Structure 1
Amino acid sequence: MIVVFGAGAIGCFVGGMLAASGTPVTLIGRAKAMAPLEGNFTVCALGGQPMAVPAMHVTRATEPGALAQASTVLVCVKSGDTKDAARAITACAPQNARVISLQNGVTNATTLAGALGAERVTAGMFGFNVIQSPAGSFSQVTEGEVVLGETGADLVKTFQPTEIHAATNPNIEGIQWTKLLMNLNNALNLLSGIGLKTQLQDRQWRRVLSVAMSEGIAVARADGVRLERVGKVHPKLLPSLLRLPDILFSRVANAMLRIDPAARSSMVADYHAGRPSEIAWLNGFIVDRAAEHGLHAPVNTKICQLVNSAFAAEDRVDLNLSAGQLLQ
C-alpha cells in the first residue's frame, strides 16, 4: 500500500494519478483538506484530459494511524511539518516501510533520515506546479517531472502507467538544489500579485529572479554542490537567460512559458489559506548558507523580510509590489 502523507495539492495529484492507474493509495491529510475529496475527484496532466479517480482505489484518512498499512510512504507535507511527520511515521508505520520525500527545499530528506534511518529514506524532487479547484480537481499547470534518488527505482516503475514522468538520478542533491533555485520564484510570485506566466513574461521580475538565483548559485558553489539540469536549460545559464529582452526570452525559453494562465506558486496558496510560509526553507536557506560562507545575499534577504512581514499581518490582503522595490 502506498500512503501519501500530506494530502495537499501535490499529494492528491500524485495519489490520484497512481489510483487512476489502478494502484491502491491511502491519502492522509487534515480534515479541511480532505473535505473536497468526499466524493469522486479528478486529476489532469498538463495539456491532458481530466481523469476520474476510482473510489475503490483510494482510502481517505485524517489520522496518522492509517500509516499502519504502508509499504511506501510519500511525504508531501510542508517543510515545517517534516519533524512531526517523522515522529508519526516512527509511531505508526511498519519499520520496513520505505519513505520518499517529495517536498520543497533540500533538507527534508536529511531530517527524515535522521529520525528514521538513512536506509529507509529516498530524497526526491517534484518538478511542477499543481492547482486545486474548490470542486476537488487537481491539475498540473507547468512542465516538469518527478526525480528520485537511485534507491527510488522501484517507485519509478510504479509511476510508469501514470501520466507522471519519473526518473532516478544519482546526483539527487544537485537536482534538489536546482529545484531550490527555481523555487526562489515562489516568494516573488506572491509579492508580485500576478500569475506565474505573466510574471515570467515581465523582464523586470525576471531580473529580480536572476539576481536571487545568482546568489543561490554562489552558495551552491561554496557548498560544493554540483548542480544538475532540470528542464531544458542548465541552472548556471538561467540568470543570463532571465535577463534577455522579452522578445528574445519568449523565443529562447518557450518551454518555461508553457504555463496555465491560472498558475500561481504554492506560497500564494499557503498565504491565502492562512498557513505558515516555507520561506525559511527556500530563500531563507540561501540567506543562512550565504552567511555561513561569508557571502552576501541582499535580494534574498529582502525577499524574506517582505514575505515574513506579509505572513505576519492580521489581514492577508493581495500583494502588488513592483519588481523595482526589490532591487532598491
Structure 2
Amino acid sequence: MRIGIIGAGALGGTFAALLARAGHDVEVTARGAGLEAIRGGGIRLSGGYGDAHVHPAAGDRLTARPDLVLVCTKAQDAEAAIAANADTVDGATVVVVQNGLDGVATAERLLPRSTCLGMLSIIAANYTEPGSVRVTTTAASYLGRGDGEPDEEVRRMAALLSEAVPVVAIPNFRGAQWTKLVVNMLNAVPAIVGRSVQDVVDDRALRRVVAASMRETVRVGMARGIRFGSLQGLGDRRLRFFARLPLALGQLLPWSMRVRMGDVPNLGSTQQSLRRGQPTEIDFLNGAVVREAEAAGLDAPVNRALVALVHEVERGDAPLPADRVTAVLAATRRSRRNRPAGAAPGRRRR
C-alpha cells in the first residue's frame, strides 16, 4: 500500500520505519534538519521494536497520491500541515495520530472527501537527533472515531496497520481521547523541571502536582458529560473513582503509569520539543483542560498554572527549579481559601 506520513518526528518516524519494514511504499514529510537527515541517510529506528534503517521518499509535502495518510505532527501544526497537503491527500483514508481533542475534526473540515479516523498511541519514543528515533516503551495504539462501536473501515485499517505495529479498533473514541488526555498530564512537569517522567513521578512532591493535574482533568471531563474510554487499563469507572480520592491516594495513578513505563528514561513529548528548540503542544494538552473547564463554567487552576510555566520555559533557556512547580498546589489552596462564602468549589468568580 502507498502510505503518506505527514510529520516524521518521534511517532511519525516510528510508524514510517515499521510500515516500510513491513513492505509498504512510504513517503514522509519533514522540515529543516529532519528533512535533510532523512534525505541523506533515511530513518534509523532502535529500541523496543528492534532496529530498522529505511529510506522513504521525503519532502516538505507529499508528492504521490497515497491510499492511506497518517498525520503525526504536533497538534499546533496539524491544520497548516493538512492544508499544505490537501490537494494530494483529499479522498484518501486519513488517520490522525495526535494528542489533544481536535485533530480528527480539523482533518474532516479540511479534507471533505476523506474518511478521517483518529489513533491514540501510547508508544514512548525519543527523537532528539534528526533522522533517529529510539522507542523506549512499546504499546498498542488505539484506532476509532466518534462515540459508537468501531465500523468496518476502522477495523480494516486496524488490521492493516497491525501487520507492522499493534493497533486495536476501539469503541467510544472520543471518550478514549479524554483518557489519553489524562495520561498526557505526565508531560508538563518533566518539561518544566528538565527531568525524565520517571524521575518526576519518583519525587513525591512533584508526583502530587502531576496527580492534581490528572484529577482536575477527570473532573472537567465529567462536567463536560464525557464517558471515558478504555485505554491502557484506564476506563470510566476507574477514573471516576480516582476523581473522588484525596490527593494523597490519587498519587497511585501516576505511580502505576510510571511502573508500566519501565526504567529507560522517558522525556515526554513536551520536553523533547523544548530540547529541539521547537514550540510545544502544551496549549492542546493542559491548555485543552483549561478551555473545556471554561466551557463548563469551571476553573482549572492547576493546569492553567502548568501551561504558564511551560510557556515560561519556552521563552527561556533553562528548566525551572522544582519549587516553582510544587508552589502550584499551595497557590491553588490559597485561591480556594479566598473564595467568597457560598461560591461553588472550582467555579470561577464572576
Coarse TM-score class (shorter-chain normalised): 0.7 to 0.9
In the alignment, the residues of structure 1 paired with residue 130 and residue 88 of structure 2 have an alpha-carbon distance, to the nearest angstrom, of 31
The answer for the alignment partner of 1:198 in structure 2 is 199
Judged with a 3 Å threshold, the aligned counterparts in structure 2 of structure 1 residues 307 and 244 are, in CA distance, closer, same or farther, namely same
CA shift, 1:295, in A, is: 1.4
Q: Which has the larger radius of gyration?
A: 2
**Which letter does structure 2 place at the counterpart of 1:125?**
L
In the alignment, the residues of structure 2 paired with residue 155 and residue 175 of structure 1 have an alpha-carbon distance, to the nearest angstrom, of 18
- Unaligned regions of 5+ residues in structure 2, if any? 145-149, 331-350
CA shift, 1:40, in A, is: 4.4
| Residue 162 (structure 2) pairs with residue 156 (structure 1) | no
The answer for the alignment partner of 2:129 in structure 1 is 134
The answer for the alignment partner of 1:300 in structure 2 is 303
CA shift, 1:33, in A, is: 1.2
The answer for the alignment partner of 2:111 in structure 1 is 116
Alignment of 1:4-43 (within 5 A): 4-37=5-38, 38-43=40-45
**Which letter does structure 1 place at the counterpart of 2:229?**
E
1:147-196 CA-partner distances (Å, limit 9, x unpaired): 1113332222222232x211111211111111111112211111132111
In the alignment, the residues of structure 2 paired with residue 277 and residue 145 of structure 1 have an alpha-carbon distance, to the nearest angstrom, of 24
| Residue 91 (structure 2) pairs with residue 96 (structure 1) | yes
1:55-106 CA-partner distances (Å, limit 9, x unpaired): 3xx22222x242x32111100111111221231232232x421111001101
In the alignment, the residues of structure 1 paired with residue 257 and residue 279 of structure 2 have an alpha-carbon distance, to the nearest angstrom, of 33
Identity of aligned residues (%): 26
Alignment of 1:170-209 (within 5 A): 170-209=171-210
In the alignment, the residues of structure 1 paired with residue 280 and residue 138 of structure 2 have an alpha-carbon distance, to the nearest angstrom, of 24
| Residue 65 (structure 2) pairs with residue 69 (structure 1) | yes
| Residue 219 (structure 2) pairs with residue 215 (structure 1) | no
In the alignment, the residues of structure 1 paired with residue 51 and residue 133 of structure 2 have an alpha-carbon distance, to the nearest angstrom, of 9
CA shift, 1:300, in A, is: 0.7
Q: SS in structure 1 opposite 2:310?
A: helix
CA shift, 1:12, in A, is: 0.6
Q: SS in structure 2 opposite 1:99?
A: strand
In the alignment, the residues of structure 2 paired with residue 106 and residue 82 of structure 1 have an alpha-carbon distance, to the nearest angstrom, of 12
The answer for the alignment partner of 1:272 in structure 2 is 275
Structure 2 contact 5–70 (Cα < 8 Å) conserved: yes
Q: After TM superposition, where is structure 1 displaced by more than 6 Å over at least 4 residues in a row?
A: none
Query: What is the root-mean-square deviation of aligned Cα atoms in Å?
Result: 2.6
In the alignment, the residues of structure 2 paired with residue 118 and residue 320 of structure 1 have an alpha-carbon distance, to the nearest angstrom, of 49
Structure 1 contact 241–249 (Cα < 8 Å) conserved: no
In the alignment, the residues of structure 1 paired with residue 204 and residue 242 of structure 2 have an alpha-carbon distance, to the nearest angstrom, of 13
The answer for the alignment partner of 2:345 in structure 1 is none
Judged with a 3 Å threshold, the aligned counterparts in structure 2 of structure 1 residues 263 and 222 are, in CA distance, closer, same or farther, namely same
Aligned residues: 316
In the alignment, the residues of structure 2 paired with residue 35 and residue 146 of structure 1 have an alpha-carbon distance, to the nearest angstrom, of 29
Which of 262, 278, 281 aligns to 1:259? It is: 262
Judged with a 3 Å threshold, the aligned counterparts in structure 2 of structure 1 residues 269 and 255 are, in CA distance, closer, same or farther, namely closer
- Unaligned regions of 5+ residues in structure 1, if any? none
In the alignment, the residues of structure 1 paired with residue 292 and residue 37 of structure 2 have an alpha-carbon distance, to the nearest angstrom, of 39
Which of 75, 81, 87 aligns to 1:79? It is: 75
CA shift, 1:34, in A, is: 2.1
Q: Which moved more, 1:28-37 or 1:210-219?
A: 28-37
CA shift, 1:19, in A, is: 0.7
In the alignment, the residues of structure 1 paired with residue 303 and residue 101 of structure 2 have an alpha-carbon distance, to the nearest angstrom, of 17
In the alignment, the residues of structure 2 paired with residue 253 and residue 308 of structure 1 have an alpha-carbon distance, to the nearest angstrom, of 28
**Which letter does structure 1 place at the counterpart of 2:135?**
Q
Judged with a 3 Å threshold, the aligned counterparts in structure 2 of structure 1 residues 215 and 193 are, in CA distance, closer, same or farther, namely same
Structure 1 contact 203–242 (Cα < 8 Å) conserved: no
CA shift, 1:137, in A, is: 3.2
The answer for the alignment partner of 2:319 in structure 1 is 318
In the alignment, the residues of structure 1 paired with residue 185 and residue 135 of structure 2 have an alpha-carbon distance, to the nearest angstrom, of 20
